[in-house]
């Protein structure tokens, strides 16, 4: 697998696209991941990228969001690309669904079925969507209808309104796109957050969609106040999260952040996505060194980068 | 890599760690790209593979693919070498915005290529005529030269386009700086003010409760002080208000020490 990444802060969208495309042109990428800030006129960014790549078969997948990362760059504005070329060892297939608010579950199932045609299941999926539906609905659909690892995220612009999804030359909103990989792809997935769980675990008594009402017999705000010793603040946006876990499936844990802008409405808390009732949650708090994520490459024999294999669910 | 925007808020100036942790661990020129997200999707690793796909918040998701050779890194300036000649092309917008030379019958036909030609095209519009120069866009000049001067104008074009290239970079940087400033100014000022008020109110309530408790406790103490009896080491009772005794003589056990009648 050959890879090239590059980034630009050129403000003109077409020029930015050209610059990114030219940086990848030498490798003739099979797939290009494109990440841009939300202030670009995205059709022109894509047009510039494709014009510079000058290769109709290239697959472009990506999104606009509140910022991007590249090898040495973390920026609020600009764009980055990552081009991959497996020299034909990996086959790629792209599928997307729009208007997710209508029959999301069915659409995700159909999309995944499209990616598993001819009896071949992808070894890995990359999924990206803009944040216009409750993400837990996407998660639920993935859990039920997907039998391969999927990595990705939901694009963010803080207002959840102006991020877009890139699919080749097109731009979509309220959409979900999956890039599926087949063949000899060696990969490894890591998930981390370096947050500390504090306090006691509480049973979730009442939740309605993304609205968390009661935990451990208390309203959600009081539960957090009891366990953290402080009142919930609006500036806890992204800081205050709940570790959601199910005692019966101990390996599966995830965090749900609180949306603070809506805190003043009622006693309940609004989370960024729903989660099932009858499981438990625990407050998490950033330590003094939230950034203290460490990555240690293992020797090849220990297969940090391992051959894709079908996971056991 | 996909990193939650909540991490970005908390990390602030430390945000570079999101990528430097990787480049330090793997290679300084590790090909890498990713975005700031509002939610992350990935399975968790376990001994025999991965869990089901999960949706996360406040999380950092890393997908590592077998590494290849990094061939080229950063994009370069959009302004390249001076034009060696005039270039046509099937994509006229591209020609106007990117390529090095454009042959146009007149300025209006050049402007017609893009609705916002004057504001987006960077360079020099050269025409024959009496020597004159006019700025027609933020980084676009219309320069009129005599035919003789134009034929000798290669060096002039080199210098002019280099200057415009530098100006373009400076313009981009200025826009980024302005954006960052705007972001800083609007960043949560009102939210922080409200939080401050909320914390202040909570503290005032706490102080009020403590004060009320203190008053109540004082009242209780005043009313019962005379009725509190302590036991000395021999087990005899006495009232501390009636007769002061050294503390060393008291038996400091919780239940028998304080007896309220």
Residue A282 to residues A120, A289, B257, Cα–Cα distance (Å): 40, 20, 42
Q: How would you label A55-93 residue by residue, b for 16+ Cβ within 10 Å and e otherwise?
A: eeebbbbbbbbbbbbbbbbbbbbbbbbbbbbbeeebebb
Are B51 and B64 a contacting pair, CB within 8 Å? Answer: no
Which pLDDT band, with edges at 50, 70 and 90, does A306 fall under?
A: very low
Same domain, A38 and A153: yes
Which range has highest mean pLDDT (A20-34, A291-305, B109-123)? A20-34
Provide, as residue numbers in chain A, all residues whose Cβ is less than 8 Å from the Cβ of B20: 72
User: Nearest-CA distance from B99 to chain A in Å?
Assistant: 10
Range from A52-61, B6-15, B21-30, B61-70 carrying the lowest mean pLDDT? B61-70
Same domain, A226 and A138: no
Q: Is residue A301 part of a domain?
A: no
Tell me the pLDDT tens digit for each residue of B94-124: 656 665 566 665 666 666 667 777 788 888 8
Q: Is residue A302 part of a domain?
A: no
What backbone torsions phi and psi does residue A214 show, to the nearest 5 degrees?
-135, 140
pLDDT at A24 over 90: yes
- Whole-number average pLDDT of chain B: 73
Which pLDDT band, with edges at 50, 70 and 90, does A28 fall under?
A: very high
pLDDT at A180 over 90: yes
Same domain, A169 and A96: yes
Tell me the percentage of chain A whose pLDDT exceeds 90.
32
Which pLDDT band, with edges at 50, 70 and 90, does A266 fall under?
A: low
Boundary of a domain, candidates A138, A165, A187:
A187
**Mutation choice for B interface testing from A2, A64, A69 by most B CBs within 10 A:** A69
pLDDT at A302 over 50: no
Same domain, A68 and A147: yes
Distance CA A262, CA A138 (A): 23
pLDDT at A298 over 80: no
- Count CB-CB contacts under 10 A for residue B25: 13
Which pLDDT band, with edges at 50, 70 and 90, does A158 fall under?
A: low
Distance CA A36, CA A8 (A): 9
Q: Is residue A7 part of a domain?
A: yes
- Please give the tally of structural domains in chain A: 2
Tell me the pLDDT tens digit for each residue of B139-177: 888 888 887 776 776 677 778 888 888 888 898 888 888
Q: Is residue A304 part of a domain?
A: no
pLDDT at A35 over 50: yes
pLDDT at A290 over 60: no
Same domain, A179 and A223: no
Q: Can you give the pLDDT at residue A312?
A: 38
Provide, as residue numbers in chain B, all residues whose Cβ is less than 8 Å from the Cβ of A139: 41, 53-55
Contact assignment for A296 to B25 by CB distance below 8 Å: yes
Same domain, A161 and A213: no
Provide, as residue numbers in chain B, all residues whose Cβ is less than 8 Å from the Cβ of A18: 78, 94, 97-98
Tell me the percentage of chain A whose pLDDT exceeds 70.
85
User: Nearest-CA distance from B165 to chain A in Å?
Assistant: 12
Distance CA A219, CA A212 (A): 8
Boundary of a domain, candidates A144, A168, A187:
A187
What sign results for the dihedral spanned by CA atoms B138, B144, B148, B149?
negative
Same domain, A143 and A48: yes
pLDDT at A279 over 90: no
Same domain, A79 and A151: yes
Same domain, A28 and A54: yes
Distance CA A181, CA A1 (A): 13
Which pLDDT band, with edges at 50, 70 and 90, does A305 fall under?
A: very low
Helix (H/G/I), strand (E/B), else coil: A1: coil
A23: containing domain: 2-187
Distance CA B99, CA B78 (A): 9
Same domain, A51 and A137: yes
| Averaged pLDDT for residues A247-263 | 72
A262 or A296, greater pLDDT: A296
Same domain, A219 and A181: no
Q: Is residue A293 part of a domain?
A: no
Q: Is residue A295 part of a domain?
A: no
Contact assignment for A5 to B31 by CB distance below 8 Å: yes
Same domain, A180 and A202: no
Boundary of a domain, candidates A153, A187, A221:
A187
Nearest to A9 by CA among B111, B91, B177, B15: B177
A6, A272, A311 member nearest B49 (Cβ): A311
| Averaged pLDDT for residues B170-194 | 77
Q: Is residue A303 part of a domain?
A: no
């Amino acid at each position: 697998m050959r890879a090239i990444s590059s980034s630009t802060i050129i403000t003109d969208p077409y020029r930015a696209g050209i610059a990114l495309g030219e940086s990848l042109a030498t490798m003739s990428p099979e797939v290009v991941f494109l990440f841009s800030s939300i202030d670009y006129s995205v059709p022109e960014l894509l047009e510039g990228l494709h014009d510079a790549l000058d290769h109709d078969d290239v697959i472009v997948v990506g999104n606009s969001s509140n910022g991007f990362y590249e090898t040495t760059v973390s920026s609020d504005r600009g764009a980055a690309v990552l081009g991959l070329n497996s020299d034909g060892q990996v086959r790629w297939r792209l599928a997307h669904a729009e208007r997710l608010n209508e029959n999301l579950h069915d659409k995700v199932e159909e999309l995944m079925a499209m990616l598993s045609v001819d009896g071949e299941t992808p070894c890995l999926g990359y999924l990206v969507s803009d944040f216009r539906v409750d993400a837990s609905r996407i998660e639920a659909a993935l859990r039920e209808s997907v039998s391969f690892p999927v990595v990705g995220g939901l694009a963010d612009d803080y207002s959840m309104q102006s991020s877009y999804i890139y699919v080749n030359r097109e731009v979509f909103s309220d959409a979900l796109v999956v890039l599926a990989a087949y063949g000899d792809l060696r990969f490894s997935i890591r998930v981390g957050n370096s947050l500390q769980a504090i306090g006691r675990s509480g049973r979730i008594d009442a939740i309605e969609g993304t609205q968390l009402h009661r935990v451990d017999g208390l309203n959600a705000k009081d539960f957090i106040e009891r366990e953290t010793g402080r009142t919930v603040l609006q500036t806890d946006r992204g800081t205050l999260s709940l570790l959601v876990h199910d005692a019966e499936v101990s390996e599966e844990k995830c965090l749900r952040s609180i949306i603070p802008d809506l805190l003043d409405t009622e006693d309940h808390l609004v989370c960024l996505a729903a989660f099932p009732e009858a499981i438990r949650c625990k407050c998490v708090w950033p330590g003094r060194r939230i950034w203290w994520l460490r990555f240690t490459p293992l020797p090849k024999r220990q297969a940090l980068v391992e051959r894709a294999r079908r996971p056991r669910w | 890599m996909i990193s939650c925007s909540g991490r970005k808020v908390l990390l602030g100036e430390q945000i570079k760690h999101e990528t430097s942790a990787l480049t330090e661990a793997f290679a300084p020129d590790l090909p890498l790209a990713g975005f700031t997200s509002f939610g992350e999707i990935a399975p968790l690793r376990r001994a025999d593979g991965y869990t089901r796909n999960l949706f996360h918040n406040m999380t950092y998701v890393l997908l590592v693919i077998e590494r290849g050779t990094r061939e080229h890194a950063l994009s370069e300036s959009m302004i390249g070498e001076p034009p060696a000649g005039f270039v046509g092309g099937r994509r006229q917008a591209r020609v106007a915005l990117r390529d090095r030379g454009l042959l146009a019958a007149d300025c209006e036909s050049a402007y017609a290529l893009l609705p916002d030609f004057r504001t987006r095209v960077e360079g020099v519009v050269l025409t024959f005529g009496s020597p004159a120069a006019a700025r027609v866009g933020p980084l676009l000049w219309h320069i009129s030269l005599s035919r003789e001067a134009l034929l000798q104008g290669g060096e002039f074009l080199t210098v002019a386009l280099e200057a415009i290239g530098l100006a373009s970079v400076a313009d981009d940087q200025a826009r980024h700086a302005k954006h960052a400033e705007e972001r800083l100014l609007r960043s949560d000022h009102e939210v922080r003010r409200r939080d401050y008020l909320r914390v202040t109110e909570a503290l005032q309530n706490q102080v009020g409760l403590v004060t009320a408790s203190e008053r109540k406790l004082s009242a209780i103490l005043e009313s019962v002080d005379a009725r509190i009896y302590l036991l000395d080491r021999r087990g005899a009772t006495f009232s501390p208000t009636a007769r002061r005794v050294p503390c060393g003589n008291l038996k400091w056990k919780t239940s028998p020490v304080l007896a309220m009648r």
